[in-house]
Amino acid sequence: MTDFRRIVLTGASSGIGAALAAELAGPDREILLVGRNAARLEAVGDLLRMKGTRVDTATLSVTDTDGMARLLADYDALGPVDLVIANAGISGGLSGRDRPEPEGLGRAQVETNLLGVLNTVEPLLEPMMARKAGRFVLISSMAAIRPQPDLPSYSASKAGVRAYGIALRGWLRPLGVGVTVVCPGFVTSPMSARHGGFKPFEMSAERAARIILSGARRGRSSVIFPLPLALLAWGANLLPPAISERLERVFAARIEPG
């Protein structure tokens, strides 16, 4: 089982990101926390420092291609990164059953959720390949397995993350670099709180973080949880669309943008 020492974590200021940071903390760890909310990011950093972790923080959006490239290149130059968790993401959804997503929200989700992952991964690809070591953990979603009618752009962006991660994994495995693609279901977080509909098998961010990191440390290719929801998602893909979509519309909900 691999124990990671120098880590990059995006979307670290709340939700799964903050829980992952807490789970990774320790006196032998060095962690770069990246997020958009400076106050919350520093609060997470302070908690990690209390556990003896060496912490750097960067208030930066993952959509900033040049900024991310400089930040990650500089951090890796000071010491080889062996774990990258591309977790930053935003949610969205329909304004109502007969109303589309607010203008620009769909593009914002693709830019953050998908292009933000590329901005997190690409600057560290060549250094990790040269060392033949390290692991990327890409946080996708159960919505990538079964896209949801009330989350069209979110589903598309996370499906892109899943596809990118699967392809990246096949390319990098022979080169000594690992990739873990994570598809969580509903996890208690500010993002999840904006979903007003049915949230089956919802779990705490702390439990989700433990599951994700256990999979990464074991070198798992994919981590999909919770299993009952995954079975429902896979099963829905086997049904005729007219039936599966009718069932999904029953549970579809208005999403508060954020």
Query: Which residues are catalytically annotated?
Result: 154
Burial of 207 (0-12, 13-18, 19+ CB in 10 A): middle
Closest CA to 156 of 192, 113, 191: 113
* Sheet containing 83-86, strands listed edge to edge, beginning at the edge strand earlier in sequence: 54-59, 30-35, 6-10, 83-86, 135-139, 178-184, 222-225
Q: Is 28 left (phi over 0), alpha (psi -120 to 50) or beta?
A: alpha
Compute the distance between CA of residue 258 and CA of residue 245 in angstroms, rounded to an integer.
26
Residue 85 parent element (H or E): strand 83-86
Cis peptide before 226 (omega within 30 of 0): yes
